[in-house]
Structure 1
């Protein structure tokens, strides 16, 4: 009986041994994590929920001592444009905390979040549950969902080209709109609407415009946006008032997608299930959620 009881305790406590990865939330709302390449080069990597492989900037590559580039690839994509050619380094090791990842491919590109040397995405933790705790500044990588998962809103994910999309509700003028957003921790702002959605719903007329801004993705693609204020954004049961928003001008002929960025994401405890079928969200201490009633049913 004692052996069975001990086994039950060990099984119940299995995720006590989850990997805890400390991170720093930058002033640009990016998640920065220290890592070591090939046992020699210390780098600051951005955890980027819209990235599909490990990349380093050209500037960071020049400072490394352990990387060897043996080829190139034309299929490296960015969220702001088409595929690009990048130098590729194969068979590297990556150490994050106490865990060593082997046989890692690294691609070179132009940009990353300010103050970081490159980025990696959820695919590094394939088959694992990923938790993002902004209150404690840590990622939690584990084998199963936490026991308190019922306290979270469960929202379906749509996966497209290794990128994760979820739906949220928006107020634009007198309209309540359902829209799909790319979950993008690499973008430090609130939300971006794609140009088709902005045009069809006349966001330039319905939202107060406060200015203009130019964004550049990893390969220097320029995307011009108008800055505006969204009266209300509803994610699950949480309503966020006065969200900084933008809508695209340009990027004609490129990938066009709406983005949910770090200024919104940092207001939640976030859990991605192991299959990337659902995202679980619960407001945290940073949340600026409204006490007003929820929006009318989304349509």
Structure 2
């Protein structure tokens, strides 16, 4: 009996060790690629000094595949929300890069009692930025832009230098907006932000909550639970999360033909719509649009980018349509760095908006800005 018991324990130990064994793949170079679901690949740099080197996937409401590809090997995993997996990349047969991939857990604050409803006034600037007063590290008052096309907290180099008393390079900064406060934030640096602002903060700070953007009353209302059900006047759109941000589906229309596709929901983009030339080519989009003007724009890194403004006949968003919109065409492809058109705030400001990060839906209803003239009029 003792002999049988010993054998059983030994088998249990061997089984446990096998279950805990970390997968290993090989590489001869430090550059790799990561592919989430059906998204385009993104680059990843291996670093054996970081143990573990953590990659956080874009929010997903269901399980999602993850593929890690080196120059000579690969591994594919499927992770549910809240799940993490470890693996090792052995570089040149000697350097072990301990890597962890995390599919973040889903957040939902609807069960908080009592429910919270924080109203934050904003200024809609002449450049269509949502400018909001914020306090960084409990001492520095800054003007920040709420930007659904970004994540985290981003400050300009000038603001860090002249308007703050120092920013930690580690993740121990705080941000206060109205009655809400976030701790343990890493501050990212950029050269430029929206005119009149010192930086921006992204949609993910409100993940698990519901954000109302009321342009009629210039208020951002953040709910732990929405106190009413959006009525029939709202157009409804499932959120598609991709590359840390999110998109909705809509369509462009030329001569009665509709070209449906996804649009990055980016109220931080100050213009109307930035068209992705790759998607246009794939859909054989007509190339004879009327050119209104040619300009040079600057991105967040201060780089100059040539842009054409052309007349778009119709943009269909749910049951609502906007006509004769001056939209933008970049000379480069994939302005969002993945295949999507970009829907900017000169269009989005015309809708009072509900961003439901619990049920992962966007609701849009026309407001008092619906008939406002576009800044780059197609009548020039």
Task: Select which of 268, 278, 294 maps to 2:361.
Answer: 278
Structure 2: segments with no counterpart, 5+ residues: 1-110, 373-380
The structure with more radius of gyration: 2
**Residues 60 and 276 of structure 1: is their aligned pair in 2 closer, same or farther, counting only changes over 3 Å?**
farther
Q: Deviations over 1:220-272 (max 9, x none)?
A: 34432210111111111111111121122125898153110011000001111
What does 1:78-117 correspond to in 2, within 5 Å? 89-117=170-198
Tell me which residue corresponds to 1:161.
Answer: 243
Counterpart CA distance in 2 for 1:211 and 1:276 is 41
Post-superposition, which runs of at least 4 consecutive aligned residues in structure 1 deviate over 6 A?
A: none
Shift of 1:40: 1.5
Shift of 1:276: 6.4
Three-state SS of the structure 2 residue aligned to 1:149 is: coil
RMSD between aligned alpha carbons? 2.3
Tell me which residue corresponds to 1:292.
Answer: none
**Residues 251 and 222 of structure 1: is their aligned pair in 2 closer, same or farther, counting only changes over 3 Å?**
farther
Task: Select which of 157, 163, 177 maps to 1:64.
Answer: 163
What does 1:141-180 correspond to in 2, within 5 Å? 141-151=222-232, 152-180=234-262
Structure 1: segments with no counterpart, 5+ residues: 1-10, 71-88, 290-299
Q: TM-score, normalised by structure 2?
A: 0.63
What does 1:1-299 correspond to in 2, within 5 Å? 17-70=116-169, 89-151=170-232, 152-200=234-282, 201-205=284-288, 207-251=289-333, 255-256=337-338, 257-275=340-358, 277-288=360-371
State whether residues 278 and 333 of structure 2, in contact with CA within 8 Å, keep that contact through their aligned partners in structure 1: no
**Residues 46 and 253 of structure 1: is their aligned pair in 2 closer, same or farther, counting only changes over 3 Å?**
closer
Shift of 1:177: 1.1
Using the TM superposition, name which of 243-252 and 54-63 deviates more: 243-252
Shift of 1:119: 0.3
Bigger relative contact order (CA 8 A; separation at least 6): 1
Q: TM-score, normalised by structure 1?
A: 0.80
Tell me which residue corresponds to 1:5.
Answer: none
Alignment: residue pair count: 258
